[in-house]
Amino acid sequence: MKIVFHFNSKSSGQGVHDAVSIAQKYNGILDGKFYKIQFDSPEDKNLDKLLELVGHLKGSLIFIDNEEGVVASKFMNTFNCPDKLLCKGICNHTHLGYYPLKEFKIYYGRNIKNNVLTTDESHLIGSVSDFLEEIEENHFKLNKELLYQYFVESTEFERKYCSKYNEEKTKMEVDKLPDEICFITPEEYEGEIYREEYEGEEKEINKILRGILTNCVINSKLSIEDILNCSNAISLLSFPSQGNMIQDTDVWVYSYPHIDKFILMKLNIQELVPETTDDQERIDIITKEKDLFYLKNPYIELYFQVFDSNDPVAKDYYKILKNL
């Protein structure tokens, strides 16, 4: 692989002087005001240093095998992608609204019924407007074929150079998206989402969970995989959803068939959380205990973990939760 890094040696950027020194030391070629330095591997330490020093400056480009240049950030996001271990081949670099394709149904799944997504988010409608076909006012069909083509084209560089990129899985993920999108006002949306609040103990559990999870942070010492899994679980548990208590236990299960996941949860209430407290500024920290996500404050003790629907280890965690 022939990699050429190209940067403006006359730029006023802070790291330019050090970048020029590296270019001169490693046989860089000065073409007008631009230095060009060739590398044989994307993992070259000198390339990493140049990217750190001047990769963010205007005019800094990467050329691979004499193809069209790309901005340094595109190169770094592909070869040093932090999501590579967890993406499962579905690139996170192109978003629908605020979210990458793989996480779309995690955040919007609760609003999808009969394959129709109901939303009050105008920015979401705007982000997919090129792929919508109007059925009636504020009600659209999603053209998934056009959306898939856009996704592939916008991740062309990743498709060429990322070993994890999987077109087949990407197509399957696009096919899982809702067939239609219905846009409503925020007032209509609130009524739509909360009209089916559950009664009794489940309603109280949902209320407590939403209160706790909107006022917490994730322990920074957790691994990036744990942080992402915990974040996904928080997003799912923070919104109204129907859970089921398992008979003769105090373990709850929340199923999310639209994303093939479920959550096992145990909530021990020490005392009822008052409407107002003297520690309104308190921030609870989610950590791990017995390999379960764990949060404790003066009022509650919460354990939870998220699983794929067919995850065989879930039965072991279920036993742990029952015995806590």
Task: Give the single-character DSSP code of 44.
Answer: -
Confidence of residue 109 (pLDDT cuts 50, 70, 90): confident
What's the mean pLDDT when you consider all of the chain? 85
Q: Is residue 88 part of a domain?
A: no
pLDDT at 37: 94
The DSSP bridge partners found for residue 134 are 140
Confidence of residue 232 (pLDDT cuts 50, 70, 90): confident
Same domain, 259 and 316: yes
Sole residue written with tokens 């199923």: 255
Sole residue written with tokens 């236990």: 249
Q: State the residue range of the domain holding 303.
A: 198-323
Task: Give the single-character DSSP code of 274.
Answer: P
Tokens of 240: 């109204």
pLDDT tens column, 247-260 = 888 899 988 876 77
The DSSP bridge partners found for residue 103 are none
Same domain, 172 and 219: no
pLDDT at 195: 47
Higher per-residue pLDDT: 316 or 102: 316
d(CA 205, CA 262): 17
- Of 31, 47, 79, which one is at a domain's C-terminal end? 79
Confidence of residue 197 (pLDDT cuts 50, 70, 90): very low
The strand ranges marked E within 172-256 are: 180-183, 216-218, 243-245, 251-256
| Number of residues that make up the chain | 324
Residue 215 · residue 284 · CB < 8 Å: yes
Same domain, 146 and 121: yes
Same domain, 211 and 179: no
State how far the alpha carbon of 205 is from the alpha carbons of 234, 235, 244, 245, 281, in Å.
14, 16, 11, 11, 22
d(CA 290, CA 229): 16
Residue 300 above 50 pLDDT? Answer: yes
d(CA 151, CA 175): 13
Residue 270 above 80 pLDDT? Answer: no
- Torsion, CA 144, CA 74, CA 235, CA 105, rounded to 10: 10
Q: Is residue 85 part of a domain?
A: no
Q: Is residue 87 part of a domain?
A: no
Q: Is residue 84 part of a domain?
A: no
Same domain, 12 and 117: no
pLDDT at 200: 52
Sole residue written with tokens 């107002």: 276
Domain count, the chain: 3
pTM assigned to the model: 0.61
d(CA 96, CA 221): 30
- Of 191, 224, 245, which one is at a domain's C-terminal end? 191
Same domain, 319 and 224: yes
pLDDT at 196: 47
pLDDT at 207: 74
Same domain, 249 and 313: yes
Same domain, 162 and 47: no
d(CA 153, CA 171): 13
Residue 67 above 80 pLDDT? Answer: yes
Q: Is residue 157 part of a domain?
A: yes
pLDDT at 198: 43
- Of 166, 191, 216, which one is at a domain's C-terminal end? 191
pLDDT tens column, 2-58 = 999 999 998 888 889 999 999 998 889 998 999 999 998 988 999 999 998 999 888
Mean pLDDT value of segment 288-317: 91
pLDDT at 274: 54
Same domain, 209 and 258: yes
SS3 218: strand
Q: Is residue 89 part of a domain?
A: no
